[in-house]
Amino acid sequence: EAGVAQSPRYKIIEKRQSVAFWCNPISGHATLYWYQQILGQGPKLLIQFQNNGVVDDSQLPKDRFSAERLKGVDSTLKIQPAKLEDSAVYLCASSLGGPHTDTQYFGPGTRLTVL
Amino acid sequence: LAKTTQPISMDSYEGQEVNITCSHNNIATNDYITWYQQFPSQGPRFIIQGYKTKVTNEVASLFIPADRKSSTLSLPRVSLSDTAVYYCLVGITGGGNKLTFGTGTQLKVEL
């Protein structure tokens, strides 16, 4: 079974620039998550989709971050404009069903450096 | 948002049993407790999941007391390859039911 795919793996940008990350979940997984992991900390949930709909985006900085899940499959996370404090690894995960009971499978992450 | 806390680090030797505890006072009623392992430059990897009492699989055991305000991951006989960061993941109440990772425990295993 193919795992969660993410691209790019690494990205370096200057502050105030825009950046986008892509995630392809495991086939058939209804729930998709984006996490931000700052160096030395645990992942922080940014947004959670169930099929096409947003379940929880309470910790997404909506003035600069946006995310969408096209046709309930792939997802993109965008930052515009980026700030220095956005430097982190952005992890995508998916699960077959409900977020609070089902196992999440993680991609390798995208490491973002904002200069 | 209430924190889910873990010891920052633990040291062990090969062949020993390691127990890592996570404190989650505000765990949501219907949420499971899940533990993940993370190596550098990789995403977290599932280890074990449980709701109450004790769960065991081929790599670990998970002990959950009746009040579910904490959980303990037990790795029976660690090896060098178990050196990694370990996280618990629970749903926390208060302003909604939010999925929250613990603060993480860096386990270092030596010969």
- Secondary structure (DSSP) of A44-63: EEEEEEETTEEEE-TTS-TT
Nearest to A58 among B43, B87, B96 (CB): B96
Q: Which residue of A has its CA nearest to B32?
A: A101
A21 touching chain B per CB within 8 A: no
Cα gap A110→A76, rounded to integer Å? 12
Q: What's the pLDDT at B94?
A: 63
The residue that leads in pLDDT, A45 or B29, is A45
The answer to whether the CB of A37 falls within 8 A of the CB of A109 is yes
The pLDDT tens digits of the residues spanning B59-101 come to 999 999 999 999 999 999 999 999 999 999 998 776 566 888 9
Q: What is the mean pLDDT of residues A74-80?
A: 97
Distance from CA of A15 to the nearest CA of B (A): 23
The pLDDT tens digits of the residues spanning A93-108 come to 999 987 667 889 999 9
The answer to whether the CB of B89 falls within 8 A of the CB of B71 is no
Residue ranges of chain B whose CB lies within 8 Å of a chain A CB: 28, 30-32, 34, 36, 41-46, 49, 87, 89, 91, 95-104
The pLDDT tens digits of the residues spanning B24-61 come to 988 888 888 999 999 999 999 999 999 998 999 999 99
- Secondary structure (DSSP) of A62-108: TTTEEEEEGGGS-EEEEESS--GGG-EEEEEEEESS-TTTSPPEE--
For chain A, how many residues are written? 115
Q: Which residues of A52-66 are buried (b: 16+ CB within 10 A; e: fewer)?
A: eeeebbebbeeeebb
Say if residue A8 is preceded by a cis peptide, omega within 30 of 0. Answer: yes
Q: What's the pLDDT at A2?
A: 80
* Helix, strand, coil percentages, rounded to 5, for chain A: 5, 50, 45
B-contacting residues of A 33-52, CB under 8 Å?
33, 35, 41-45, 48
